[in-house]
Amino acid sequence: MSATEPTTPTRLRRGETFEGEIETLAYGGRGIARPGGYVVFVNGGLPGDVVRAEVTKSKRGYAEANATELVTPAPGRLPEIDLHQDEPCPGAAWQALDYEKQLAFKEAQVADALTRIGKLGDVNIDPVVAADEQWRYRNKVEYSFGEQDGELVLGFHPRGRWDEVLDIEDCHLSSEATNHARNEVLAWARSEGLNAYDPHDHRGTLRNLVVREGRRTGQVQTRLVTSRAEFPRPPVDLHTVIDGPSGSTSGPTGVLGEEFLRERIFDLDIELSHDAFFQTNTEMAEKLYGLAAEYAGLTGTEKLFDLYCGVGTIGLSMAREAGQVWGLEIVPEAIENAKRNAKANGITNARFVAANARTGMRPLIEQAGRPDVVTIDPPRAGLSAKIVRRLIECEARRIVYISCNPTTLAPNAAQLVEAGYRLTRVRPVDMFPQTPHIECVAQFDLVGEVKYVESPSERKRREREERRDAAKEADQ
């Protein structure tokens, strides 16, 4: 082999340790190190850190690892202030990274996803919208019960260790009111001698505590999730009972206090049922939805479809600038919230339908007619290709896509562009400081006519029919 011929990187195996420098950050917040030229995604390292790490997964082209020791901290690394039992808060993985650098990495992740995954060039990405508050911004926190040395604890799972729970007294991401509610429930549970549910042997009682806060109303709502058992009335608003080994927090829920959480956003009074989605940063939700309204560009006459509408916040916030608003959401309780929210705020031009986005859009078009503008706020998984095709069938002149995951926005954007839409602009919004997560708002404008793209099943059916027709002609 000649001296100039590149060498093959040495693959690291599971369980091996190495020392290396974190070069940059991948999407999702993991650091990238290249020991011997071999790519390793490292949990727990920031750019410039030299870490010692243990490999947890090994593949031919890359490995995954957990940092076990910070050998040399990066220049400018900040002290970690949100600690639980001397471990950094699992929900604040970027707290040692300067906030301006956090914003720069998040903006770069959006650009990388759209160009690398979506194969979209010349995307106009506006500067990221910085958060109003870098700490104490969460309006919802879910805690897990566990046990340490025979004592009941209530907190968070350490990263990658779902069988352990870090005891939390004061999480800097949540408010003092939320932390107080958590401490009150834990004190009650300890005084009653209750134990935590063990997911391994499926024994025990206490599973989770969900605390939600109305940041503008001051209301704090608590929901205790337990196995079926007899114990004194808990000091919470809602009690959900889970039968069997399910890890879900959904189940039959009894009302012991306030059934609904009430919040105020823009000039709207909003009611939320316990399983209805609402952005976990109220202050930045206003910035996010305000940006969506700006991108929608309503003039007062348009028909607006609000897909994945939740409790109706986006559509209702734009209703006074629209001719009609139609909201679509799969959770029936959220739709009931949306209807009551419209009535409570004196909004008469909004209608809401409980349906799945994939199967519900065609009936919605038959009922309401085609929309001028569509807003869509899907979950992290984004939209399936079939739902994007249903969206294209709307033939809306403008689509405003609110995304909490640029890696799923990217393929959806590519499909819309293929169908005749232009990705006019994108702007990231930092809803979650101290974390790698980033939201963004994307504006798509229809250029000319919609170009319908065959689905795989449609293509197979057409090809099958063409082969059958060709065979008939050959027989004649």
Task: Name which of 34, 108, 49 is nearest 436 in CA terms.
Answer: 108
Question: Which residue stretches of 369-428 are H helix?
Answer: 385-393, 406-418
Is residue 48 within 8 Å of residue 75, measured between CB atoms? yes
CA 402 – CA 420 distance, rounded (Å): 19
Distance between CA atoms of residues 174 and 181, nearest Å: 11
Nearest to 25 by CA among 74, 58, 91: 74
**Active-site residue 394, yes or no?**
no
Q: What six digits make up the tokens of 444?
A: 């798509």
Residue (of 305, 438, 421) closest to 363 by Cα position: 305
User: Which of 89, 309, 394, 404 is flagged as catalytic?
Assistant: 404
Strand blocks (E) in 214-284: 220-227, 238-242, 253-255, 261-265, 268-272
Between CA 151 and CA 148 the distance in angstroms is 5
Instruction: Give the bridge partners for 353, in sequence order.
Output: 328
How is the beta sheet containing 31-33 ordered, strand by strand?
A: 17-21, 50-58, 62-72, 39-43, 31-33, 24-25
State the Cα–Cα distance between residues 50 and 40, nearest whole angstrom. 13
Q: Indicate which residues carry an active-site annotation.
A: 404
